[in-house]
Amino acid sequence: MLISCNKLKKYIDKSEEIDWLNIWKTFTIRTAEVEEVKEVGKQIDNVVIAKIIKCEKHPDSDHMHILEVECGEANPVQVVCGAPNVRVGLKTAFIKVGGHIDGVEIKSRPLRGIMSNGMCCSKKELGISDEHDGIIELPEDAPVGMNIKKYLPIEDIIVEIDNKSLTNRPDLWGHYGIAREISAITEHELKSLELFNIKNDEKLETLKIKINNPELCYRYTGLKIENIKNNKTPLEMQIFLYYVGMRSISLIVDLTNYIMLELGQPMHAFDGRIVKEIEVGLANDKDTFKTLDNVERNLTKDMLMIKNGKEYFGIAGVMGGLDSEILKDTTSVFLESATFNAGSIRKTAVALGLRTEASARYEKSLDPNMTKTAIERLIYLLQKENKELKISSQLTDVYPNKLDETIIKLHKKVLNRYMGKIMEDSTVKNILEKLGFAVEIEEEYFNVTVPTYRATKDIKIEQDLIEEIARIYGLENFTPKPLKLDLTVKEHETIYNQEYEVKELLATKYDLNEVNSYIWYDTNLLKRLEIEKKGVKLLGKTENNILRDDLSFSLLNIAENNFKNYNKFGIFEIGTIINNNSNKRVLSIILADEEKNIEKTYNKAKEICTYIFKVLKNENIIFKNHINEKEYNNSKLGKIIFIDNNKVGEINVINKKITNKLAKKKVIVCIDIDFDKYVEIEKKEKISEEISKYPMVELDYTIIMPKELKYEDLDEILKNYKSKLIKKYYLIGKYENKYTIRYLIGSDIKTLEQKELQTFKERFIQHIKDNNLLIIE
Amino acid sequence: MEKELEILVEELEKELQNCQKEADLLNVKSSFIGKKSKISQILGSLKEMSVEDKRKYGSIINNTKKKMEEMITNYAENLENQNEVVFDDSVIYDTQIGSLHPVTIVAKEVTECMKKMGFTVVSGPEMETEYYNFEALNIPKDHPARDMQDTYYLDNGMLLRTQTSGNQIHAMEKYGAPLKVCSPGRVFRNEDLDANHENTFFQVEGMVIDKDISIENLLYTMKQILTEVMKCEVNLRLRPGFFPFTEPSYEIDMECTICKGNGCPTCKNSGWIEIVPGGMVHPNVLKAGGINPEEYNGFAFGLGLTRLAMMKYKISDIRILNGGDIRYLKQFNIK
């Protein structure tokens, strides 16, 4: 929102004492964020009011004139001007030789052979409008020779305040509210607004106004006025409107905008000739309505409308209709000043994609007690330009549920607790009163009366008042203070730590890279892979709208992208999937390599799983075969990971068809570990075991397996070979179908003798042979 | 006698030259200085000699034996050295290093620092109910934050959490007061992606509930955390803000560390960087968490982890973070 400091100065007593350029730094930390402070009108100098006293056609041009202007100097000055509206007697702005406009110096120079000593200016050249169709026309009583800056408020400081930081402050959506803040911050008096006191004349008609939905329209105030003969907006107001980002249209329209910019109360003026009876009610579904901007709008039954008779007249709080627009020839106007429900206006504006200055304000919950003031202020300003203005109706005010001032008890104990210090009664009272609150001091609390312009949204409980006190007291006056000492040892949850522990292990021990991905499937990828996923869906979205139920599968597009740069890589994520309508945490690891390395990669996956559980949980996991149901997984490969009889995860290989679509001649192995279960597993505490004092012997055997058998079959056979001497056995190598097994054997009570070793060896070889396998010693 | 000893030494020299293996050396050793060796015999004959001869030859014989022993030991060392494996010791292979996601690293730093301050880390679900994401946080039904444009609503009646603040309620319900928790996590906002906007990013929520908590405590805590995370002394300021779940609410700005508050492009010439929103927990939020606001109060804040990671690592395009491109992610290593 743009704010004109010239306007603010009008509302504040002794405003000249305020540093208007720098006050905004303070405003930022007291009230709301200021985005920009800009000085305007500085780049213009030596412009004075001049009167054209002679006007002749330029002999050598079809549009230029040779003028003589009086500009307060001893002799008239000759100037050549191309504007079409030049005429004798016109008063305008004239820039003298040596003056500047937009940093360019004006010099005497011939124009088509005739000397021109200066320049007459358009509004655009003065920087006060976009109009450039002629030189500015000043009123007849403008004093010749006077510096234009003294006559018109061309020099101003324009401040942009971040709209978002005003979300909770309906009272700050007009200049008067900002002035109230400045007055509180600087401790200057705020002047009251000049109003026209409308006395209701019994003889005048009462306007027909009906509110069908008092929950959506809190108040509707209407007034009919006639005999508006002058519809020209004073220059000063035009400049103000331009500086704060609005276009001047006509006096009556400009005034409704002006009141909105001043008080924050949007107003609407309808052509007085066509208003019959006003009804505020909801639209019918599928009706259409043409707004002021000449766009046909589709209505719904949730949209609040202003109706005239049976016809739609305007979309309440958003925009008026094209048919009720003020026409040039009207001298009669119906003024609307109303308050609507904030949520309803916002929804309508959003649904229509039509956010207007009015709807932006209504969305903030305006004070219904402002409607009458707004009309009285408008009449006051209108009457200045139209002395013969006639009020032709009663001020008709439909206000079903009057909003009264509220009283909040602010306990001193609570205030001091929040502030971290003891606040003086007088300080509290002074701050609140400056902001418009009334304060009575009691023993243990303050009785604070909240003005209605703060009560609609922002100030409801005592903490809201504490916020007011703290900010005006000065947030920079707070000193950081430590919490009181608390030595309780607490750890509510270990999830975060456990996640980090696993991540760190994977990154350091296995050189894997952590990625973050999205919680939904990439629709594009699903399409290309011809995989259909059913799951929880995002509403109102057609792409990327299915929540993932398989973390590793959802990581395939990341894998695909990395194949562009790497033949071999490993990534992982701990993320959420949605399964059976509930959140589940999963650790997924993807190992990608060239197809020829499938065995190595697959075994690596098993090693990683074993390692995680052994190191971090001291648990031995077991791999079991499973029938792979998912269409994108290799149905022959894949393991389920168990701890005892508890399934904690899976290893899968993406099948060839899918893999080939991602990258040619590659293999992708996926590990998914149920992290909710993982977190629940308590780390087994290991108790120290007695270690034998006697040496152990390593014996290696290579066993040749028939092609159709696997290691798991061999393992079954090995398990059946029992001997007290076996400490441990494990696979140390595999070449084709030759498996090398290492046995560690020994005794706890003595060093093994050659004979015992020999017996062990012979029995073992016999056991293998009994199982029809070949053994190489 | 002297001659005889000299010949022995010469012979030994010759034999040692022929030794190639440890076994050869052992043979030579036993034949030249072993029990049955010539020198041992000579030494043995010493005791039959006259006192005069003993004096004359004793030390010569002993010295010769010592010399021979030294020769063998030296040669043995030579032989060991010769058998050492020889290789190219200048080879360097590429070191494979994994990586943690930059957000994980920053989250760890922040939570680690908060743990030192006595906070515990808690979690909450990413798919959340409207109640925990909005209602319990004092965000009424018609609040703009509830709009479809900002929130991902789901066809099962739930939504993807738009903030980690819902974890405030979960924590209060589970653990009650007093409470000192932080909660890092992923949040979702319905936004179009560009270099500065993501629909999926990380925050860390912080919350303290106790008796007699002041705005000054909030300021102190934030200063501690940010000083630790930014690894330099930071200056903070409070600015009025508006969030439904805190009252009073503040935008906490950090004095720009690049220009020291003088104004530069990073802080858009204001000298301050908006870093963390926070405030005093709204009494309605305490009530929703089952805590009596008459007895307890507290503060809460939500720090943008994704933005912090971008600041820390000078990442200019936010999309890198969820893109999964190892070439980028590898740069951040582990710590």
Q: List phi, psi (to 5°) of A531.
A: -115, 135
- pLDDT surpassing 90 at residue B184: yes
Report the distance separating Cα B217 and Cα B223, nearest Å: 10
Same domain for B46 and B138, yes or no, is: no
Distance CA B40, CA B95 (A): 60
User: Cβ of A578 under 8 Å from any chain B Cβ?
Assistant: yes
* Runs of H (alpha helix) within A279-402: 342-352, 357-362, 371-385
Contact A475/B156, CB-based, under 8 Å? no
Q: What is the mean pLDDT of residues B8-16?
A: 83
d(CA A106, CA A125): 13
Collapsed DSSP state (helix, strand, coil) of residue A574: strand
CB A248 within 8 A of CB A354: no
Residue B90: inside a domain, yes or no?
A: no
- CATH number for B237: 3.30.930.10
Say how many CB pairs under 8 Å bridge A and B.
224
CB contact under 8 A, B148 and A540: yes
Residue positions counted in chain A:
777
Q: Residue B122: list chain A partners with CB under 8 A.
A: 492-493, 496
- Model confidence at B79: pLDDT above 90: no
Kindly give the residue spans of alpha helices, DSSP state H, lying in A516-653.
523-529, 551-554, 556-563, 598-617
Instruction: Say if CB B19 and CB B75 are below 8 A apart.
Output: yes
**Token pair belonging to B269:** 């010439």
Interface test with B, best of A468, A473, A475 (most B CBs within 10 A): A475
Task: Please report whether residue B251 resides in a domain.
Answer: yes
Q: Which residue has the tokens 């909450």?
A: B124
B126/A516 CB distance under 8 A: no
* Angstrom distance (rounded) from CA A18 to CA A20: 6
Contacts of A28 (CB under 8 A, 6+ apart): A34, B239
A542 at the B interface (CB within 8 A)? no
Q: Give the three-class secondary structure for B167.
A: helix
Q: Specify the DSSP class assigned to residue A142.
A: P
In the predicted model, residues of chain A with pLDDT beneath 50 are none
Residue A454 near residue A436, CB atoms below 8 Å: yes
Give kind and range of the element (H or E) at residue A577: strand A569-579
Which of A467, A511, A542, A544 has the most B C-beta neighbours within 10 Å, making it the best mutation to test the interface with B?
A467
Q: Which of B103, B119, B133, B154 should be substituted to probe chain A, the one whose Cβ sees the most A Cβ atoms within 10 Å? A: B154
Is B239 within 8 Å of A28 when comparing Cβ atoms? yes
Kindly state the percentage of chain B with pLDDT values over 90.
53
pLDDT for the residue A505 = 96
Range of the domain at B49: 2-83
Q: What is the pLDDT of residue A691?
A: 84
Inspect the interface and report whether the beta carbons of A576 and B126 lie closer than 8 Å: yes
pLDDT, tens only, A161-213: 999 889 899 999 999 999 999 999 999 999 999 999 998 888 999 999 999 99
| Residue A591 CB contacts under 8 Å (≥ 6 apart), including other chains | A570, A601, A604, A605, A608, A668, A669, A670, A671
Q: Which residue of B has its CA nearest to A471?
A: B240
Contact yes or no for B200 and A461 at CB 8 A: no
Beta-carbon-side half-sphere exposure of residue A651 (alpha carbons within 13 Å): 23
Asked if B101 lies within 8 A of A466 by C-beta distance, the reply is no
Number of domains in chain B: 2
- Which residue reads 């030596």 in tokens? A46
Contact A343 B217 (CB under 8 A): no
Q: Are A597 and A540 in contact (CB under 8 A)?
A: no
What is the pLDDT at residue A269? 92
Residues B77 and B30 in one domain: yes
Count of beta carbons in the 10 Å neighbourhood of residue A764: 22
Q: How far off is chain B from A401, nearest CA to CA, in Å?
A: 21
Asked if B29 and B177 sit in the same domain, the reply is no
Kindly state whether A758 is in contact with chain B, defined as any CB-CB distance less than 8 angstroms: no
Q: Are residues B167 and B46 part of one domain?
A: no
What angle is formed at CA B257 by the lines to CA B256 and CA B260, rounded to 5 degrees? Answer: 70
Dihedral, A7, A10, A12, A18 alpha carbons, nearest 10: 70
Q: Are residues B11 and B45 in the same domain?
A: yes
Is residue B219 domain-shared with residue B299, that is, in the same domain? yes
In angstroms, rounded to a whole number, what is the distance separating the alpha carbons of residues A264 and A369? Answer: 12
Name the residue among A480, A493, A555 with its Cβ closest to that of B122.
A493
Q: Residues A312, A313, A316, A322: what is their CA dihedral angle, to the nearest 10 degrees?
A: 110
Token output for A342: 């904030």
**H or E element, residue B52:** helix B51-83
| A401 secondary structure, DSSP code | S
C-alpha closest to that of B325 among A525, A406, A515, A555:
A515
Best B155, B189, B249 residue to mutate vs chain A (most A CBs within 10 Å): B155
| Same-domain pairing of B257 and B164 | yes
What gap in Å lies between CA A621 and CA A606, rounded to an integer? 10
Cis amide linkage into residue B178, ω under 30° from 0: yes
CA distance A344 to chain B (A): 8
Q: Do A492 and B171 touch (CB under 8 A)?
A: yes
Summarised one tens digit per residue, pLDDT across range A56-99 is: 999 999 899 999 999 998 899 999 999 999 999 999 999 999 99
What would the two tokens of residue B234 be? 């930071």
For residue A369, the 8-state DSSP code is G
Q: Please judge whether A168 and B123 are an interchain contact, meaning their C-beta atoms are less than 8 angstroms apart.
A: no
Report the pLDDT value the prediction gives residue B6, as an integer from 0 to 100: 83
- Checking DSSP bridges between strand B120-121 and strand B179-188, what pairing results, if any? parallel
Specify if B94 maps to a domain.
Answer: no
Examine the domain organization and report whether B107 and B79 are in the same domain.
Answer: no
Find, among A39, A370, A18, A9, the residue nearest to A179 by Cα.
A9
Which residue carries 């943690």 as its tokens? B100
B326 chain-A contacts, CB cut-off 8 A: 513, 515, 562, 565-566, 569, 571
On whether residue B63 sits in a domain, the answer given is yes
Q: Which of A31, A165, A478 sits opposite B216 (nearest CB)?
A: A478
* Range B74-104 burial, b when 16+ CB lie within 10 A, else e: ebbeebeeeeeeeeeeeeeeeeeebbbbbbb
Helix or strand (DSSP H, E) at A589: strand A582-594
Q: Which long-range contacts (CB under 8 A, 24 or more apart) does B24-32 make?
A: B25/B72, B25/B75, B25/B76, B25/B79, B28/B72, B29/B72, B32/B8, B32/B68, B32/B72
Q: Are residues B244 and B151 in the same domain?
A: yes
* pTM higher than the cut 0.95: no
Which residue among A490, A547, A571 places its CB closest to the CB of B120?
A: A490
According to the model, what pLDDT value does residue B40 have? 82
- What the block records as the tokens of B263 is 């104004």
- Residue in A349, A268, A336 with CA at minimum distance from that of residue A302: A349
Q: B97 lies in a domain?
A: no
Q: Among B27, B50, B83, which residue terminates a domain?
A: B83
Buried b (16+ CB within 10 A) or exposed e, A149-183: bebbbbebbbbbbeeebbbbbbbbbbbbbbbbbbb
CA atoms within 13 A on the CB side of A605: 33
- Beta carbons of B142 and A342 less than 8 Å apart: yes
* CA–CA distance, A638 with A649 (Å, rounded to integer): 11
Long-range contacts of A98-103 (CB under 8 A, 24+ apart): A98/A46, A99/A44, A99/A45, A99/A46, A99/A47, A100/A43, A100/A44, A100/A45, A100/A46, A101/A43, A101/A44, A101/A47, A101/A125, A101/A126, A102/A43, A102/A44, A102/A127, A103/A43
Residues B163 and B41 in one domain: no
Residue A679 forms contact with B (CB below 8 Å): no
- Are the C-beta atoms of A434 and A486 separated by less than 8 Å? no
Contacts of A540 in chain B (CB under 8 A): 148, 153
**Chain centroid offset of residue A671 CA:** 38
Does residue B53 share a domain with residue B160?
A: no
DSSP H helical segments within A105-206, as ranges? Answer: 148-151, 175-186
Q: How far apart are CA A328 and CA A325, in angstroms?
A: 10
**B169 and B291 assigned to the same domain:** yes
Q: Domain boundary residue among B53, B83, B113?
A: B83
Segment (H or E) for A678: helix A675-680
Structure tokens at B192: 């179009």
| Minimum-distance CB partner of B325 among A486, A561, A578 | A561
Looking at residue A442, the DSSP 8-state letter turns out to be -
Return d(Cα A571, Cα A507) in angstroms, integer.
9
The continuous run of DSSP H or E covering A159 comes out as: strand A156-161
CA neighbours closer than 13 Å in the CB half-sphere of residue B153: 12
Taking each continuous run of H as one helix and of E as one strand, the counts in chain B are: 12, 9
A471/B240 CB distance under 8 A? yes
Q: Are A301 and A247 in contact (CB under 8 A)?
A: no
Residues 635-654 of A with CB under 8 A from B: none
DSSP 8-class letter at A483: P
CB A570 within 8 A of CB A511: yes
* Burial of residue A294 (number of CB atoms within 10 Å: 0-12, 13-18, 19+): exposed
- Interior CA angle at A367 toward A363 and A370, to 5°? 120
Segment 314-373 of chain A within 8 Å of chain B by CB = 342-343, 346-347, 350, 363
Question: What is the distance in angstroms between the Cα of A391 and the nearest Cα belonging to chain B?
Answer: 39
Mutation pick from A483, A556, A566, A584 vs chain B, by most beta carbons of B within 10 Å, is: A483
